[in-house]
């Protein structure tokens, strides 16, 4: 029994998450190459099906390149609110098995299932049950890696893809690791890989055979010790249970650079609206609001503010972003704007009341009040009639302003 539970860490990773959510709603897309991402001139791939990956497409690739590689694909703009909705459902399933769930993104998490040994024969039985629940309840595929620690579980889930399960037993660690390319180890980027090649290292097994002193001379003590431990399959990190995402954000890369305070504020209003929708659907509020601005030469700056109380309505978020935009240059060519909400707290936590601004309506400590009621009403309409059914009046008739179907981010 104890030997069976020597691999209690699971890494659950939803396969091509954005694509599979789209297929869940459009079954005609199944079996076809599908690419989700920004469709504009500067758009990038957020998620792609395995049919598209077989043709060389991958996440973060410029959309123009993806179109050249796979012109027959179905190209779909992302709908972030929809993906967030399904993410909440996925994590609800995971937490129905154990509270020890550490989210990594909207579509992957580590689980420590040690506490389930009285309910399941072994961790593999837990993984089978999780995949079955996700498939039956959400009609989505998930891959699961099982291993003694987080590092190995992540590598195992990569091996399990697509839509599979792979387990690395404690006594199989060397057999599993040694043939892998050294780039599979966390922290091996271009420079480190070049240094390791100079030592004749191509695989993890090669690295494990290099004396620590030689690694230290070439890479420095911190990196050398880190890689030596990983090459042995060691990872002392614990699964750290937490809320869902530690932050929520949206951003827009423009087909043509924009400038001017009025245009920038219109973008911030649209993005504040989207962030607020995601916060409220997840039942959280944000203590910190930030904006990101990327200028034409790829210079990126961020500005943030932490108000006296957590916020979750578009009105409050937009008010804060307008304050922040006063601290950036808006007359330079801007290629990207983003709004982020972080330090998330449960929506039912008490909130401190601040002094009212002119014309501001009082809000109760639980976030209710006129503006909260309005946000609830907007959310109800969108749930019934779609994300575009209602929105800020300032954005009416402004088709170039960002909307949820043009947002993009990582998605499997």
Which residues belong to the active site? 108
Instruction: Give the helix/strand (H/E) hosting 197.
Output: helix 190-198
Please, which residues bridge with residue 61 across strands?
none
CA distance 203 to 196: 10
- Using an 8 Å Cβ cutoff, are 111 and 101 in contact? yes
CA distance 175 to 1: 23
CA distance 17 to 6: 30
- Using an 8 Å Cβ cutoff, are 78 and 190 in contact? no
- Using an 8 Å Cβ cutoff, are 127 and 11 in contact? no
Angle of CA points 248, 388, 58, to nearest 5°: 50
- Using an 8 Å Cβ cutoff, are 148 and 6 in contact? yes
Please, which residues bridge with residue 74 across strands?
34
Instruction: Look up residue 410 and give its two tokens.
Output: 């990582």
- Output the CA–CA distances (angstroms, integers) from residue 66 to 119, 163, 176, 312, 404, in the order listed: 46, 23, 33, 36, 21
Q: Are strands 142-147 and 165-167 parallel, antiparallel or unpaired?
A: parallel
Please, which residues bridge with residue 143 across strands?
13
Instruction: Look up residue 389 and give its two tokens.
Output: 């059914």
- Using an 8 Å Cβ cutoff, are 8 and 123 in contact? yes
Nearest Cα to 15, choosing from 122, 184, 149, 165?
165
SS3 (DSSP) at 107: coil
CA distance 45 to 77: 10
CA distance 179 to 277: 46
CA distance 112 to 240: 9
């Amino acid at each position: 029994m104890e030997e069976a539970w020597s691999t209690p860490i699971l890494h659950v990773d939803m396969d091509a998450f954005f694509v599979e959510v789209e297929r869940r709603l459009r079954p005609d897309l199944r079996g076809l190459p599908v690419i989700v991402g920004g469709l504009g001139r500067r758009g990038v791939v957020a998620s792609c099906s395995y049919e598209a990956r077989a043709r060389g497409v991958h996440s973060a690739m410029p959309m123009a390149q993806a179109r050249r590689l796979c012109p027959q694909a179905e190209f779909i703009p992302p709908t972030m609110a929809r993906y967030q909705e399904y993410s909440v459902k996925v994590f609800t399933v995971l937490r129905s098995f154990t509270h020890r769930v550490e989210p990594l993104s909207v579509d992957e998490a580590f689980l420590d299932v040690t506490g389930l040994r009285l309910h399941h024969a072994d961790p593999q039985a837990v993984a089978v049950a999780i995949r079955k629940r996700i498939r039956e309840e959400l009609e989505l595929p998930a891959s699961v890696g099982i291993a003694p620690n987080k590092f190995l579980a992540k590598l195992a889930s990569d091996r399990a893809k697509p839509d599979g399960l792979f387990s690395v037993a404690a006594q199989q660690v060397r057999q599993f690791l040694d043939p892998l390319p050294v780039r599979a180890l966390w922290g091996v980027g271009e420079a480190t890989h070049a240094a390791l090649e100079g030592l004749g290292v191509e695989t993890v097994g090669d690295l494990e055979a290099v004396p620590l002193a030689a690694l230290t001379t070439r890479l420095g003590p911190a990196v050398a010790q880190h890689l030596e431990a990983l090459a042995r399959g060691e990872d002392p990190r614990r699964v750290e249970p937490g809320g869902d995402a530690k932050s929520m954000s949206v951003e827009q890369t423009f087909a043509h650079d924009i400038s001017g305070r009025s245009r920038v504020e219109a973008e911030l209003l649209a993005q504040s609206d989207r962030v607020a929708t995601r916060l409220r659907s997840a039942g959280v509020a944000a203590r910190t609001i930030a904006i990101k601005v990327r200028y034409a030469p790829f210079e990126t700056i961020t500005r943030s503010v932490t108000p006296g109380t957590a916020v979750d309505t578009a009105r409050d978020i937009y008010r804060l972003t307008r304050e922040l935009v006063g601290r950036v240059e808006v007359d330079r060519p801007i290629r990207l704007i983003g709004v982020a909400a972080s330090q998330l707290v449960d929506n039912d936590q008490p909130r401190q009341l601040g002094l009212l601004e002119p014309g501001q309506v009082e809000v109760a400590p639980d976030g209710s009040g006129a503006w909260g009621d309005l946000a609830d009403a907007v959310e109800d309409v969108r749930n019934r009639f779609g994300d575009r059914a209602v929105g800020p009046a300032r954005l009416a008739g402004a088709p170039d302003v960002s909307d949820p179907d043009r947002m993009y981010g990582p998605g499997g």
